[in-house]
Structure 1
Amino acid sequence: MLEISNAVYLPDAEIELSAIRAQGAGGQNVNKVSSAVHLRFDIGASSLPPFYKERLLALRDSRITGDGVIVIKAQQFRTQEQNRADALQRLRELILLATKVEKKRRPTKPTLGSKTRRLEGKTKRGAIKAGRGRIDF
């Protein structure tokens, strides 16, 4: 059972884990042992609260397929147990990221002091450039 928050849990039956062979360098261990873990989680068929489902489906993430299935491949570690724990942790972080509500930004205007400093800087720079011209006698 995966704990998302104090009130929200995901039963193990809703998370499909399968062991596959990892990609990349690693020699004989990678070629023989199925230590990588492929995690699939169907958002629509899960027991998550509707708020969580809506936010997850609205999330623009490459790990979420068009039909609302989260696919995570974990192959960072040498053992299957560590990769399984890593995949579950990444699923938990993705769900928590989707439910995080950002504060609405209040637009602000530059202060009078910052405006004057900017204009003074532009004037100084213009004077420097004007001084670079040809000198006539």
Structure 2
Amino acid sequence: MPQTSLRYHTLPSPVAAAFQLSLHLEPHGKIAAMLNINVTYTGSRNVSNMVIVNVKMLSGFSPQTTMPVGVSRIESKDGHFLMYIEKMDAGQTLTLSVSIFQEFPVENLQEAHVSVYDYYVTDEAAIVGYQWPTSSEE
């Protein structure tokens, strides 16, 4: 008997989000960039345990797998670069930099997303999109 599964995702409202998340993509030529990620824990608890920052790579891009400062573990799989942060105190801001490079060209690059969430309280989350600048933005 066939089975179906319907999933949809609604972005958390900025007011309700337990994390503030901002991104800045700095291209270095046409095939490399630095993705700067600022994460602040704004949730109701004093501390968020085991925070995960999930960077979805742009199509055709890969991360350089170096451990950013403040990160306890990294994983790279299936087009995602995961960074594990052991804890974040309320109001704490962490700046992470991820170097990305193009492995193969892709036309019509679509927006990718960075999400941050508490591993144990997954409702505490935020998500922001980023994209490669168009020729007129470079």
Q: TM-score w.r.t. structure 2 length?
A: 0.33
Relative to its length, the structure with more helix (as a share) is 1
Structure with the bigger RCO (C-alpha within 8 Å, sep 6+) is 2
Which has the greater radius of gyration?
Answer: 1
> Which structure shows the bigger proportion of residues in strand conformation?
2
